[in-house]
Amino acid sequence: MKSEFTERAHRLPAHGLGLSVDVYSPDLLELVRALRDAALEPDYLEIFKATTSAQQWMRQQLPDLKLTYHGEGLWSTQPEFCRSGSGRQGVAEACAQLAALRSAWLNHECATKQMAGYAFGTYLPPLYTELSARMTAENVAYLQSQVDQDAHRREIDPALVLLEMPPLTYFGCGALPIPDFFRAVTDQASCGLVLDIGHLWTVYRYTGSWQRQRLEEFAAQFLDAFPMERVIEIHVAGLAELTIPHASGIDASGNALPYWIDAHGAPIPGVLFDLLAQVLSHPGLTSLKGVALEVDTKPIAMIVEEFKQFRERFGTTVQAMLHRDSPAPVQPQRSPNARSAERRQLTSEEEATLQQQYRHYVQLVTTQDDLSSIRNLSLLGGSLDDLNRYRETYLPHELLHWGGELQDMFPDTCRALTESDVPLDRFVAVWFSKPRPEQDDYDFFLLKIDRFVEFATHACPTAAMIVMREAEELRAAYRQANEPIGSSRVRA
Ligand SMILES: [Fe+2]
């Protein structure tokens, strides 16, 4: 695995200091103009999934810029990934967009928004267990083979698949420490990795480490255990509290710590740039090709200012790292059982066990059952209070307000529900009441429309005609907004 990765990584050109962006939010060409006006042209742009025609158009508009691809909808942590229709469709779309951008890599969160037939609006991290790491490695190897075959057909250089360590939104689940999980994946697959500095902060915050160690100490230990030699790209994005600030905790040095979560539109806190400096000085970081600020949904003026500061502080260091003579590849520390796990596919029993664990995971995060009733699952060191924050605050917010405010989407239906004394938050329980057959293409906005129609017609039959009319209007407006180069996803 190491030599295949090393060979692929060696072929990737240095990308430099870039931005991870969205085609529309903010308008990408407007952003590039603003950066050029400020003499701050980025070395590369990593563009989030849009339509293939939008990516082709961007390629034409920005002919001299390196463009890379941030995929979405490839749920490679999940047991169904290789055989599902949505998996196959997602892979085909990703290949088309990689080709459109002429991207050197395919970055994807090592996370999912669909699990055991249940859909979520934002990413959930994988189960951090040995079995789950093996499943992920198997799926990522499949994904890479599909990307390679497609590139061969198109006669282009194949992109390297990168897995990004996802954020924790208040909790993590499983007993395998996160660096060990990624070590187990890279022991079995030749993928690269993306290390997101804000995500790393959330691991410190929501695995309980903040109560025992200072951030620098935690990061030093984490980075020593993490497969740093596989890190191709580093991301830095904003962090913010969800809504009203909660009462903050107290860390080992007596300072209050906020309940920050990943928030690309929010300012990047200074603590993350200090953490970036620590990461860049780690001797294991031998394959780095690019460092990007992730700035979708952020105001252009703030992006320009942050990119300026970022370049001033890190430009020379990063360029020197990317253009130094490649050191001898560091021999990765293999996990003790790596040799026996290598290339060993999951048996059907193991896959069934993992599927069952993911059903339990859904139960854990969506219901108020206590942990003892859910077998074989543990928190990754955080507190039950933090899991409850996800269940009671984040999840309802995601379904009622995020990716489409229900009150704005369905004003007449919401009025009818209020008149019939049907509380809107009942929608959350209905959403998770049963697993659904596989969706062809994950689209949270369209999913939300379909489910809300079901909910409203069932909870308030007199509102049936109203909700169907409003739903049809929304779908029509959405189709129109997505032509000719529209996006079909909400990023988080
Ligand atoms: Fe990221």
DSSP 217-274: HHHHHHHHHS-GGGEEEEEEE-EE-SSSPPPPEE-TTS-EE---EE-TTSPPPHHHHH
Residues of the chain with pLDDT under 50: 244-247, 329-330, 332-333, 336-341, 485-490
Give the span between the Cα atoms of 78 and 70, in whole angstroms: 19
Burial zone of 423 (CB within 10 Å; 0-12 exposed, 13-18 middle, 19+ buried): exposed
Structure tokens at 233: 């790209």
Contact present, 122 and 177 (Cβ < 8 Å): no
The answer to whether 164 touches 235, Cβ cutoff 8 Å, is yes
Q: Is 235 exposed, middle or buried (0-12, 13-18, 19+ CB in 10 A)?
A: buried
Domain assignment present for residue 252? The answer is yes
Instruction: Answer with the one of 305, 323, 341 that is the final residue of a domain.
Output: 323
CA of 427 to the centre of ligand 1 (A): 30
Pick from 306, 323, 340: which residue ends a domain? Answer: 323
Does a structural domain hold residue 176?
Answer: yes
- In this structure, the answer to whether residues 136 and 228 fall within a common structural domain is yes
Residue 394: inside a domain: no
Q: Are 414 and 406 in contact (CB under 8 A)?
A: yes
159 in the same domain as 15: yes
How does pLDDT run across 22-72, given as a tens digit for each residue?
999 999 999 999 999 999 999 999 999 999 999 999 999 999 999 999 999
**Cβ contact 381:208 at 8 Å:** yes
Can you give the residue range of the structural domain that contains 459? 404-492
Give me the pLDDT at residue 242, please. 83
- Where does 367-410 have alpha helices with state H? 384-389, 395-400, 406-409
The pLDDT tens digits of the residues spanning 273-322 come to 999 999 999 999 999 999 999 999 999 999 999 999 999 999 999 999 99
Query: Amino acid letter at 293?
Result: L
Are 319 and 412 members of one domain? no
170: left (phi over 0), alpha (psi -120 to 50) or beta: left
- Secondary structure of residue 27 in the 3-state scheme: coil
Indicate the residue type of 263: A
d(CA 162, CA 302): 28
Residue at 360 is within a domain:
no
Spacing, Cα 419 to ligand 1 middle (Å): 43
In a domain, 351, yes or no: no
Amino acid 85: pLDDT: 81
Tell me whether residue 349 is in a domain. Answer: no
* 319 and 408 fall within a common domain: no
Distance between Cα 111 and ligand 1 center (Å): 12
Say yes or no: 61 and 184 in one domain. yes
Whether 316 and 408 share a structural domain? no
Ligand 1 centroid to 428 CA: how many Å? 28
Cα gap 278→220, rounded to integer Å: 8
Q: Is 367 contained in some domain?
A: no
Q: What is the pTM of this model?
A: 0.91
Measured between alpha carbons, how far is 439 from 254 in angstroms, rounded to an integer? 47
Is there a single domain that holds both residue 261 and residue 410? no
CATH number at residue 168: 3.20.20.150
Q: How far is the CA of 109 from the centre of ligand 1 (A)?
A: 8
Instruction: Please tell me the predicted confidence (pLDDT) of residue 377.
Output: 77
From CA 127, how far away is CA 380, in angstroms rounded? 9
Number of domains in the chain: 2
- 451 alpha carbon to ligand 1 midpoint, in Å? 29
Query: Does any domain span residue 353?
Result: no
323, 342, 368 - which closes a domain: 323
Q: Are residues 116 and 216 in the same domain?
A: yes
Helical (H) or strand (E) element with 194: strand 192-196
Query: Domain check: are 289 and 414 in the same one?
Result: no
Question: Are both 308 and 164 inside the same structural domain?
Answer: yes
| All residues with CB under 5 Å from ion ligand 1 | 196, 235, 294
State the pLDDT at residue 417. 93
Residues 140 and 233 in one domain: yes
Distance 365 CA to ligand 1 centre (A): 23
Distance 126 CA to ligand 1 centre (A): 16
